[in-house]
Structure 1
Amino acid sequence: MKYDATAAAVLDGVGGESNVSSVVHCATRLRFKLVDRDKADKAAIEATPGVITVVESGGQFQVVIGNDVPTVYAELGKISSLTGERAQTADAGPKGNILNRAIDLISSIFSPILWALAGTGLLKALLALVVTVGWLDATTQSYTILYAASDALIHFLPILLAVTSAKRFGANQFVSMAIAGALVYPDIMALNTGDPVSFFGLPVVMVSYVSSVIPIIVAVWVQSHLERWLHRVLPSTVRNFLSPMLVVLVLVPLTLLTIGPATTYAGQGISNGIESLWSLSPAVGGALMGGLWQVFVIFGLHWAFVPIITNDLGVQGYSLLTGPLFAAVLAQAAAALGVFIRTRNAELRQIAGPSTVSGFLAGVTEPAIYGVTLRLKKPFVYGVIAGAVGGGIAAAGGSAAEGFVLPGLITITSTINVGSFTMQLIGTGVAIALALVLTLTLGFKDLPASAPAAVPAEDVATNDTPADDAATATGSAAAAGGGTATMTRTAVVEVGAPLEGRVIALAEVPDQVFSSGALGEGVGLVPTSGEIHAPVAGELVSVMPHAFGIRTADGVELLVHVGIDTVQLKGQHFTTAATQGATVAQGELLGTVDLDGVRDAGYDPTTVVLVTNTSEVPSVVVTDPGAVQLGSTVLTVVQ
Structure 2
Amino acid sequence: MLAGVGGTENVASASHCITRLRLKLKDVSKADKAKIESINGVLSVVEAGGQYQVVIGDEVPVVYDYFTKAAGISGSGEVPPDDDAPKGNLLDRFIELISSIFLPILWPLAGIALLKAFLSMAAQFGWIDTAASTYAILNATADSVFYFLPMFLAITAAKRFKANQFTSLAIAGALVYPTIVALTASADPVTFFGIPVVMMYYTSSVIPIIFAVWIQGHLERILTKALPAMIRNFTVPLITVLVMVPLTLIVVGPITTVVASGISAGVQFLFVHAPWAAGAIVGGLWQVLVIFGLHWGLVPVIINDLGTLGYSLLAGPLPPAVLAQAAAAVAVAIRTKSKARREVALPGAASGFLAGVTEPIIYGVNLPMRRPFYFGLAGGAVGGMIAAIGGSATTTFVVPSLLSLPAYLGQGSFVMQLLGIAAAVTIAFVLTLLFGVTSQNDSPDAGPDEALPVEEAETEEASARALTGITRSIVSPVNGRLIALADVPDKVFASGALGAGVGIVPSDGHFVAPIAGTVVTVFPTGHAYGIKSDDGIDLLVHIGIDTVAMKGDGFTAEVTKGQRVNAGDALATADLAKISEAGFDPTTIVVVTNTKSLGAITAEQPGQVAAGDAVLAVEA
What is the identity percentage for the equivalent residue pairs of Structure 1 and Structure 2?
50
Which residue matches 2:105? 113
Distance 2:89 2:27 in 1: 50
Q: Deviations over 1:69-118 (max 9, x none)?
A: xxxxxxxxxxx9658997853x5443232211211221121111111111
SS at 2:191 equivalent: strand
Question: Which structure 1 segments of 5+ residues have no match?
Answer: 1-11, 20-35, 40-79, 453-492, 500-525, 551-571, 580-588, 593-608, 614-639
Is it true that 1:96 corresponds to 2:88 in the alignment? yes
Structure 1 residues 114 and 533, CA gap change in structure 2 (3 angstroms)? closer
Provide the rounded CA distance (Å) in 1 between the counterparts of 2:78 and 2:243: 24
Measured after TM superposition, the shift of residue 18 of structure 1 is 4.6
Q: Quickly say closer, same or farther: Cα 1:497–1:148, change in 2 above 3 A.
A: farther
Given candidates 210, 220, 225, the residue that maps to 2:203 is 210
CA contact (8 A) 2:321 2:379 kept: yes
**Among residues 306, 309, 313, which one is paired with 2:302 in the alignment?**
309
Query: How many matched pairs?
Result: 430
Task: Provide the residue aligned with 2:274 in structure 1.
Answer: 281
Shift of 1:495: 4.1
Partner-residue secondary structure (3-state), 2:232: helix
Is it true that 1:347 corresponds to 2:334 in the alignment? no
Report what 2:444 is aligned to: 449
- 2:139 maps to a residue whose letter is Y
Question: Following TM superposition, by how much is the alpha carbon of 1:377 offset from its aligned partner in structure 2, in angstroms?
Answer: 0.2
Query: C-alpha deviations, 1:429-448, integer Å up to 9, x for none?
Result: 11111110111122333421
Cα contact 1:163–1:176 (8 A) shared by 2:
yes
Give the C-alpha shift of residue 16 in structure 1.
2.2
1:56-76 C-alpha deviation (Å, 9 max, x unpaired): xxxxxxxxxxxxxxxxxxxxx
TM-score of the superposed pair, with normalisation by structure 2:
0.63
Question: Could you tell me which of 12, 16, 25 is aligned with 2:12?
Answer: 16
User: Higher RCO, 1 or 2 (CA under 8 Å, sep at least 6)?
Assistant: 2
Checking the alignment, whether the CA contact within 8 Å between 2:86 and 2:525 is kept in structure 1 is: no
Q: Which one has the largest radius of gyration? A: 1
AA partner of residue 333 (structure 1) = A
Please say if 1:149 is aligned against 2:136. no
Alpha-carbon distance, 1:164 to partner: 1.3
Displacement after TM superposition at 1:498 (Å): 11
2:175 counterpart of 1:179: no
3-state SS, counterpart of residue 179 of structure 1: helix
Structure 2: any 5+ residue segments left out of the alignment?
1-7, 16-24, 29-72, 448-494, 502-522, 541-558, 573-591, 597-620
Aligned to 2:498: 496
The corresponding residue for 1:321 is: 314
Contact 1:110 1:164 in 2 (8 A): yes
Instruction: Determine the C-alpha separation between the residues in 1 that align with 2:277 and 2:164.
Output: 45
1: CA distance, partners of 2:242 / 2:562: 43
CA contact (8 A) 1:85 1:167 kept: no
Q: 2:231 aligns with which of 224, 238, 252?
A: 238
What do the CA deviations read for 1:354-384 (whole angstroms, capped 9, x no partner)?
A: 1110011100000111111101000111000
Partner of 2:64: none
Determine the C-alpha separation between the residues in 1 that align with 2:208 and 2:381.
Answer: 34
Are the counterparts in 2 of residues 192 and 208 from structure 1 also a CA contact under 8 Å? yes
CA root-mean-square deviation = 3.8
Moved more, 240-249 or 142-151: 142-151
* C-alpha distance 573-118 of structure 1, shift in aligned 2 (>3 A): farther
1:531 aligns with 2:528: yes
Q: CA deviation at 1:496?
A: 1.3
- Measure, in 1, the Cα distance between the counterparts of 2:524 and 2:276: 48
Letter aligned with residue 418 of structure 1: Q
Q: Structure 1 residues 223 and 157 mapped into 2: Cα distance closer, same or farther (>3 Å)?
A: same
Deviates further, 320-329 or 160-169 = 160-169
Matches within 5 A, 1:243-392: 243-392=236-385
- One-letter code of the match for 1:16? A
1:128 partnered with 2:123 = no
Residue 323 of structure 1 aligns to which amino acid in structure 2? G
Tell me the distance in 2 between the aligned counterparts of 1:167 and 1:238.
24
1:137 to 118, 121, 129: 129
1:574 is matched with 561
The code of the aligned residue for 1:496 comes to: L
String of CA shifts for 1:390-431, please: whole Å, max 9, x gaps: 000001111111111110000011100011101001111111
Structure 2 letter corresponding to 1:140: A
Give the Cα separation in 2 of the matches to 1:180 and 1:385. 42
